[in-house]
Amino acid sequence: MVKIWLIIFDVGATYYFNKNMSAFVDYKINQLDSDNKLNINNDDIVAIGMTYQF
């Protein structure tokens, strides 16, 4: 039996331009070792986006 702990830290921020428009950024920090036995992806992830609400 192989036990692998997935430890992920998530940091995010949102900026509101006005009441309808906002932008966000999200950064996921993966603490998994690169030599894990199941070859699970161990990359950090950055996501950005914009939202418009009617």
Using the predicted structure, report yes or no on whether residue 33 has a pLDDT greater than 90.
no
SS3 40: coil
Residue 44 zone, left/alpha/beta (φ > 0; ψ -120 to 50; rest): beta
- Token couple for 12: 């995010």
Share of the chain above pLDDT 90, in %: 59
Using the predicted structure, report yes or no on whether residue 28 has a pLDDT greater than 90.
yes
Do residues 28 and 44 make contact, with C-beta atoms less than 8 angstroms apart?
A: yes
At residue 23, the pLDDT reads 98
Region 25-30 average pLDDT: 94
pTM of the model: 0.71
Query: What confidence tier does 3 reach under pLDDT thresholds 50, 70, 90?
Result: low
